[in-house]
Structure 1
Amino acid sequence: MALTRLTRLVTQSKNISRHEQLVQRRSATTTPTGAILPEPEKTPFGLLSIVCAVVPGLLIGAAISKNIANFLEENELFVPSDDDDDDD
């Protein structure tokens, strides 16, 4: 049974022409017949949607960082020394 499958695969691979082996097709841009698909719809307000996604992420990240820093300082796991604040 495995031998018949192997011979079938070998004969099928011989039937494929060399040109078909070299040409790569992207089905996302063409139809099965080779026609080019129309341009996809553009999403309006692209920049606005990016801002609406980034700003809440930054605010949530800042709040989490502030809470963790307060927790570390209250439990004396990390207490900044006065020497670190010297900029002079």
Structure 2
Amino acid sequence: MGLMSRNTGLKTSNISRTTQTRTAVSTASGAILPKPDKTPFGLIRMTIVVVPFLYVGTLISKNFAALLEEHDIFVPEDDDDDD
């Protein structure tokens, strides 16, 4: 066996070639493991998680926009394009 190296040319290696097995889906003997248990993540659970974070994010952005406007850091200009 040989490996090509960039500077030294042909270099011998004592690395043994083994077959890779996935132990997550099979046992050492090769038997396939049963499917893992699935935790149902229903619409109610998703709503319980998403809605409070959306509400908190809305409050933070609203308060930050008021702070920026109060300190005249970002104040939208009033465009009078009706003329």
Give the structure-1-normalised TM-score.
0.61
Paired with 2:35 and 2:21, the residues of 1 have a C-alpha distance of 17
2:10 pairs with 1:25: no
Where in structure 2 are there 5+ consecutive unaligned residues?
Answer: 1-12
Partner of 1:5: none
Select which of 41, 44, 50 maps to 1:48: 44
More strand per residue: 2
Comparing both chains, which one has the higher relative contact order based on Cα–Cα distances under 8 Å and sequence gaps of 6 or more?
2
Q: Which runs of 4+ in 1 moved over 3 A?
A: none
Give the structure-2-normalised TM-score.
0.64
Pair 70,47 (structure 1): closer, same or farther in 2 beyond 3 Å: same
In the TM superposition, residue 50 of structure 1 has moved relative to its aligned partner by 2.4
Where in structure 1 are there 5+ consecutive unaligned residues?
Answer: 1-8
Paired with 2:21 and 2:54, the residues of 1 have a C-alpha distance of 41
Select which of 34, 41, 53 maps to 1:38: 34
One-letter identity of the residue aligned with 2:64: I
In the TM superposition, residue 82 of structure 1 has moved relative to its aligned partner by 1.8
Residue deviations 1:35-82 (CA, integer Å, cap 9, x gap): 111111121343332222222221111111001000001111111122
Partner of 1:78: 74
